[in-house]
Amino acid sequence: MATKTETPSTRPGNFDAYWNGVDEALARYPAAAAVEHSPRRSTEFATSYDVRLTSVGPYRIFGFLSVPRGLGPFPALLLTPRYGSVNVPPHFDDRQRYVVLTVMHRGQRLADEPFAAAYPGLLTHGIEDPGSYVYRGIVADCLRGAEFLRSLPEVDGDRVGIAGDDLAVATAARRPLFAALHVQTAVLLFHRLMEARARTSAYPIEEVNDLLRANPELGAAVARTVAFFDPVHHAPRVTARTLLPVGDQGALDGPEWLQPLAGAFGGEVERYPVTHEGGTDHDWIDAWMARRLGVEARPRVWSTE
């Protein structure tokens, strides 16, 4: 078990009340799932669907769903949305092994009516107030996706994994139904964000720098809001076995930077030192998730004849 560590991001006093409020708001709306067969993305081994669900707002979100053909139940994988307007449908390799749901949160393509997210701009949209911050709804969108995935009769409830950035951590914390969590540490948005912003000028974190350069008086309010989303404060509720890829010393996914997060998880944490060889890293992480969920690994690095 990982040891607990002091964290530089302060947990808001009303953290639990805030997130309980999100759960209550979500519970007020039925998912009203509309599941439509997608012939184009269906294959001889998996059937694909376009899914629409209601989240808080109310707001209609979208998902790519793929279900293996044959007798289930099957292990399942929830892929939380990336930072950007587009998420690709589940990969061919994953569709052969898992029920897979990729969520498009509010503002992303296929879930961009009536709200179309701006890039850059989404990260700071309403950031002055945690009650109206766009990520409150975005986390709810992911929670709704988790509930929907878990409700499918084809899903083996003991073998559900989740992968993504901060959204995956928050989802695994609020819906403790996952056996395995892969945190995409290289693209975390909220972990120690107010410190991270001083160390990078790369977007999307640069959005916060842009905002505070123009409006320095908002610094305290922004810090208050983003603390609700820092995965370090969600991690204690995570029961899933967790994988943290760890980058170079000094990097924003480096070992010392991630230490507070690694130490905060409630469940077992494994660290994987990334090689920066994309094929090597993919195959190691794929095999890790496959072991957790009881399926075969699907390495993508091929050997040469």
Partner 1 sequence: MKRGPADAHTTSVERPEDFDAFWAAIMAEVAAIPLNPRCEPVPLRSTPEVEVSEIGYDSLDGLRIAGWYCVPRGSYLSPPYPGLLIVPGYISEPTLPKSWAKMGYAAVGVAPRGKLRSNLHYNPGYPGLLVDNIVDRHTYGYRGFYVDACRAVDFLLSRPEVDPARIGVHGSSQGGALTVTTAALRADAIACGAAGAPYLCGFMDAAGLTHSYPYEEINEYLRLHPAREPAVRATVAYFDGINFAPRIRCPMLVYVGEADDICPPETGYDLVKALNCPVEMHAYPRCAHDAGIYWEMPQVEAFLARHLRPAAYELHAEPTVG
> Where on the chain is the footprint of partner 1 (CB under 8 A)?
39-41, 43, 84-89, 91-93, 109-110, 116, 118-120, 201-203, 206, 210-211, 213-214, 275-280, 282, 299-305
Min dist CB 11 to partner 1, Å, is 30
Pick 41 or 191: Cβ nearer partner 1: 41
Q: Based on CB atoms, which residue is closest to partner 1, 75 or 89?
A: 89
Sole residue written with tokens 């924003």 = 252
CB atoms within 10 A of CB 217: 7
Which CB atom, from 47 or from 87, has the smaller least distance to partner 1? 87
Residue type (1 letter), 79 = L
* Shortest distance in whole angstroms from residue 45 CB to partner 1: 11
- In degrees and rounded to multiples of 5, residue 212 shows phi and psi of -80, -20
Q: Minimum Å distance from CB 201 to partner 1? A: 6
254-264 as b/e: b if 16+ CB within 10 A: ebebbbbbbbb
C-beta separation of 225 from 264 below 8 A: no
Tokens encoding 73: 């139940």
Task: Quickly count: other Cβ atoms within 10 Å of residue 76's Cβ.
Answer: 28
The C-alpha atoms of residue 300 and residue 280 are separated, in whole angstroms, by 9
**Residue among 291 and 300 whose Cβ is closer to partner 1:** 300
Q: How far is the CB of 122 from partner 1 (least distance, A)?
A: 10
CB-nearer residue toward partner 1: 38 or 239: 38
Q: What is the three-class DSSP state of 109?
A: coil
- Smallest distance, Å, CB 290 to partner 1? 16
Q: Is the peptide bond before 204 cis (omega within 30 degrees of 0)?
A: yes
Measure the CA angle with vertex 187, ends 275 and 151; round to 5°: 110
Query: Residue 35 Cβ, how far from partner 1 at the closest point, in Å?
Result: 19
Whichever of 248 and 268 has its CB closer to partner 1, that residue is: 248
What are residue 79's DSSP bridge partners? Answer: 102, 163
Cβ distance to partner 1 smaller for residue 3 or 303 = 303
Of 261 and 285, the one with the shorter C-beta distance to partner 1 is 285
Q: Write a three-state SS string for 238-285.
A: CCCEEEEEECCCCCCCCHHHHHHHHHHCCCCEEEEECCCCHHHHHHHH
Give the pair of three-digit tokens for residue 267. Answer: 């469940």
Q: How far is the CB of 92 from partner 1 (least distance, A)?
A: 4
Q: Which of 259, 245, 103 is nearest to 167 (CA)?
A: 103
Minimum distance between the CB of residue 87 and partner 1, rounded to whole angstroms?
8
